[in-house]
Amino acid sequence: FTLSACAQKQDSSVKDMLKDASQQEEVLTLMVENHELGKKYVTKMMENDHATGMVVDELVKAAANDTILADKLSEMITKYPDLMLLTSHHFMPVIASDSLLSDTFCDHTLEQKDLAKTMHNKMEYRKSLERNH
């Protein structure tokens, strides 16, 4: 009973303390500076769909204005081929609807000789299927 009452009192005081903006800032700074605490916080955020969405939104917004962050994000995505394919699949309609993006995408694609060759072979194969049907 005493432990329960003590825990409730402690929990209440932490909640009360965090109502103060300066205390919130202090806690956030501690979480940023303490790797293990920050890692726990990120893990906790990823367990909640709403919080995960907030993280993704802020990360993408920041990457849109920060080329270093955008490069880091791009590098991380390329470590996971299934994710890379999924993201490119979702971006294709956006790329196709914008002539500048389409041109840039085609230029980048054609710079990759193996990819350009694979795409050429795929298109030729599809043409042969169409002729045979």
Q: What is the mean pLDDT of each run of 10 residues along the chain (133 residues)?
A: 53 77 90 93 94 94 96 92 85 91 88 86 89 78
Degrees, nearest 5: CA angle 88-92-97: 150
Residue 55 to residue 70: CA distance in whole angstroms: 15
Alpha carbons within 13 A on the beta-carbon side of 5: 2
Q: Are 118 and 109 in contact (CB under 8 A)?
A: no
Alpha carbons within 13 A on the beta-carbon side of 48: 8
Instruction: Give how far the C-alpha of residue 103 lies from the chain's centroid of Cα atoms, to the nearest Å.
Output: 25
Give pLDDT, residue 6.
Answer: 53
